[in-house]
Structure 1
């Protein structure tokens, strides 16, 4: 995710608790979605869609933080 910001992501995960929490939650959701889609955990399609929506919102938030930090 956002390879062009790799160094900035590493720095923000250490320096910005809010960013670190969002980043961690995004990764948790990614793993949950993978498990649900692979059938490792039983689910219905609605649950997967809700998780994907939350993950996308977090990704948008992360990108906004990254853009702001990169221009500072």
Structure 2
């Protein structure tokens, strides 16, 4: 069957189909922690902390730039 389908479709379409099939097969390997509701709170806390170290940009620097 592969021999008859391969010439019919472009290589990019076949690669996409291979990747989709691989993703479906690997979904069972995901850790169970992704599906626990209690971890949603921890994940939300991590998202709040993302880029907290960067701080706000200084708005006055562009207004007081020397001419």
TM norm structure 2: 0.35
Larger Rg: 2
Please state which structure has a larger fraction of its residues in helix: 1
TM norm structure 1: 0.33
Q: Relative contact order (C-alpha < 8 Å, sep 6+): which is higher?
A: 1
